[in-house]
A and B are shown apart, each in its own frame.
Chain A
Amino acid sequence: MPADIETIALAGNPNAGKTTLFNALTGANQQVGNYAGVTVERKSGEFFTPHGRKLRVVDLPGCYSLDGGSPDQQIARQVLLGEVEGELKPDLVVCMVDSSNLERHLVFALEVIELGMPVVIALNMVDVAEQAGIRLDPAKLAEELGVPVVPLQANAAKGIVELKQALRHPFPAVPDSAWKQGPAEQLAERRRSRVYQICEVAARRPDGHTSTVSDRLDRWLLHPVWGWVAFIGMMLLVFWSIFSFAEIPMGWIESLQGLLAEKVTASMPDGDLRGLLVDGIIGGVGSVVVFLPQILLLFFFIGLLESSGYMARAAFLMDGLMGKAGLSGKAFLPLFSSYACAIPGVMATRTIDSAKERLVTIFVAPWMSCSARLPVYLVLVPLLLGGQIGGLLQAAIFLGIYALGTVTALVVARLLRGKLGPDQVKQHFMLELPPYRAPQWSYVFRHIAGRGWSFLQKAGTLILAINILLWAAQTYPKSGSEDPAEQLAHSAMGRVGAVVEPLVSPLGLDGRTGTAILTSFAAREVFVSSMTQLFHVAEGETDEETWIALRKQLAAETWPDGRPMFTVPAVMALLVFFIYALQCLPTTAVVARESGSWKWAAGQFVFMSAFAWLAAFAVYQISSIFL
């Protein structure tokens, strides 16, 4: 790392606006990686001051204190002290402070100042403070703290030039922090009283408490009854929107796919390559890519809820429920994110202080039904309803599927938490409720663009490769027969199916479905294209037509003795298997990294797979008695 460029660290409480400032300073000139040895994200970038000096800026993880035990807090402290291998000690710290929540944020700022480094305070969200009637005196604040203070509004890029000017040479002198004298246990109390003194002179609050828009909204949204009504209503709205708004763009993707298949069929003579292109690649990959709009919408809503400030309220509301599962409200965000994808969910557990709670949250996160399971549910659920699509009953079944995964996750978390025992140090759940804001669209769209790109990359690499192999497995070796069923039985896939059949027949499924389940252990989405290929369903012009044909084919499938194969108990068993099985190799790899233990990741994989099989077995056997 070149040492000639000086490094600035951006520190602050969560929601202080650090990342917004980081983006405003660096623009597109950013690098994202990890800190050595841990998976805490490291974001750095470069920018020029108005005097033409190049500076490197590192965005530290947001934390409430430098003394905590969570990986985020530890890494923030170590970076500031220059204790991270391969990381230069920062030459200056820009400490972000939310002006509308000065008392809390200044406590952290004092902690940073006590480290004895040059510090500049970025007094963010002055507009929000102004709206709340708080009259700030930045000059007085600077005098009291002994460091420069720059008022700014990072989300509107106001005050950025002034901040850059404050970073000119020489850097501000290290302030004399007299309050830090005394025994360590008294320091926190001293800091609080020092902050109180500072706020007395540098920030004037309006006489009497005036209720802000956020206060008024919180009266409803944090209400013990109405808060829950709003929360459940909002979640239903999110899921309903995902399914209904996605229909139009899904239609476009399907038309494009149909057009491509048509063009290839028309321009090539019959042969293996044409079969691979049309059935294996366009049909297989297309049946996965078609879910891109739904996945983007899910991430859009998560980004919207985070950016507007509601997600913190949801975490606050969920604290009681999480407490019953032995977790804290901090586990809510990782678990909620896992509905989109378990990987960011597992990574979001870094904010949890308690190591035991973190491990438990990581363990159960994959049981939140992720978006990769959606295609499977969308194909299978109508089979339970005799091919009917849409309607209230289907919505209720979907809700039931999500609820089953969630409730099981919470029950297992409770049992596991009891088994791991209490924490050595009592943890307190502290969460800041930021004021409600208009969503930052740049943040939301950056978020979904990243996720969309990573999904397409996966579709274009891993899923493409798996589909090519699947196609090959059922095409070779060739039987020489024109009969598709005979060819399938003769192919490698047909032979694998015969081997796995004893494992899946207690679940009411045959070897072909068993093979499709096997292929989906690499990526769940592959299941749909595997089933399409294994059951020799003719590709429709659109995916919707293909799914209808697949459902019809599955509904018509029978065992050799003439009994129907995909009965309600068998489909229920298959659904339950997909709700519980950990069929995602990247998640296992991330769990191993985040938990620091391959044993934990392997244990989770084995436990979830066994649990999924047993649950599917129980569902099939018990429901077969009644249905």
Chain B
Amino acid sequence: MNDWQTWAAIAAVILALLFLVSKATRKKGGKPSCGHDCGCDKK
């Protein structure tokens, strides 16, 4: 058994979980972009 491998695998699992949670809770829609990189869609 390689301990470092266990920890690395667990870290990957946590990252995957965080990714899925962020994807599920990310706010959809909002103000659509004007087409320019001016940040108006993030307000």
Q: Do A and B come from one complex?
A: yes
Smallest Cβ-Cβ distance to A85: which chain B residue:
B31
Q: Are A31 and B32 in touch, CB under 8 angstroms?
A: no
State in angstroms the CA–CA spacing of A537 and B43 once bound together: 49
The interface residues of chain A lying within 8 Å CB-to-CB of B40 are: 1, 86
Residues of A within 8 Å of B12, CB to CB, are 273, 276, 468
Whether A273 lies near B9 (C-beta < 8 A) is yes
A42-B32, A42-B35 are known contacts. Are A272 and B16 too (CB-CB below 8 A)?
no
Nearest CB of chain A from residue B7's CB, rounded to whole Å: 9
Q: Which of B4-26 contact A (CB under 8 A)?
A: 4-6, 8-10, 12-13, 16-17, 19-20, 23
Show the binding face of A for B, using Cβ within 8 Å.
1-2, 31, 33-36, 42, 44, 86, 268-276, 461-462, 464-466, 468-469, 471-472, 475, 589, 593
Note all chain A residues with C-beta closer than 8 A to B34: 1, 33, 86
Which positions 23-43 of chain B face chain A at CB distance < 8 Å?
23, 28-29, 31-36, 38, 40-41
Q: A268-B5, A271-B4, A273-B8 given. 8 additional CB < 8 A pairs?
A: A1-B38, A86-B34, A270-B2, A273-B9, A461-B19, A469-B17, A589-B28, A593-B28
The contact of A469 among B2, B13, B23, B32, by CB within 8 Å, is B13
Specify which of B4, B20, B31 is in contact with A466 (CB 8 Å cutoff): B20
Rounded to whole angstroms, the CA-CA distance of A461 and B24 in the bound complex is 13
Residue of A31, A35, A268, A469 touching B16 (CB-CB under 8 A): A469
Bound Cα distance from A71 to B25, whole angstroms:
29
Contacts of A468 in B (CB 8 A): 12-13, 16
Q: Tell whether, in the assembled complex, residue B6 and residue A271 are in contact, meaning their CB atoms are under 8 Å apart.
A: yes
Residue contact A33 to B5, C-beta cutoff 8 Å:
no
Do A465 and B5 form a contact, CB below 8 Å, given A33-B35, A34-B32?
Answer: no
| 8 cross-chain pairs, A with B, having the tightest CB-CB distances, nearest first | A271-B5, A271-B2, A31-B35, A273-B5, A272-B9, A468-B16, A465-B16, A472-B13
Specify which chain A residues have a CB less than 8 angstroms from the CB of B10 in the assembled complex. Answer: 272, 472
* Residues of chain A with a CB closer than 8 A to B35's CB: 1, 31, 33, 42, 44
A33→B16 contact, CB < 8 A: no
With the chains together, A44 CA to B32 CA distance in Å? 13
Q: Are B32 and A33 in contact (CB under 8 A)?
A: yes
Q: If the complex has contacts A31-B36, A33-B35, A42-B35, are A469 and B5 also in contact, measured as CB distance less than 8 A?
A: no
User: In the complex, what residues of B have CB within 8 A of residue A31's CB?
Assistant: 33, 35-36
A274 nearest CB across to chain B (Å): 7
Q: In whole angstroms, how far apart are the Cα atoms of A34 and B4 in the complex?
A: 47
Report the separation of the CA atoms of residues A100 and B36 in the bound assembly, to the nearest whole angstrom. Answer: 37
13 contacts between A and B (CB under 8 A): A31-B36, A33-B33, A86-B32, A86-B34, A268-B5, A271-B4, A273-B4, A276-B13, A465-B17, A466-B16, A466-B20, A472-B10, A589-B28
Minimum C-beta distance from B20 to chain A (A): 5
Contacts of B38 in A (CB 8 A): 1
Residue of B nearest to A36 (CB): B32
Q: Which residues of B contact A270 (CB under 8 A)?
A: 2
* Chain B residues closer than 8 Å to A268, beta-carbon distance: 5
Smallest CB gap from B21: residue in A: A465
Contacting B9 at CB < 8 Å: which of A42, A44, A276? A276
Q: Which residues of A contact B16 (CB under 8 A)?
A: 464-466, 468-469, 472
Docked complex Cα distance between A416 and B4 (Å): 58
Question: Would B13 and A271 count as touching, CB distance under 8 A?
Answer: no
Chain A nearest CB: distance from B36 CB in Å? 7
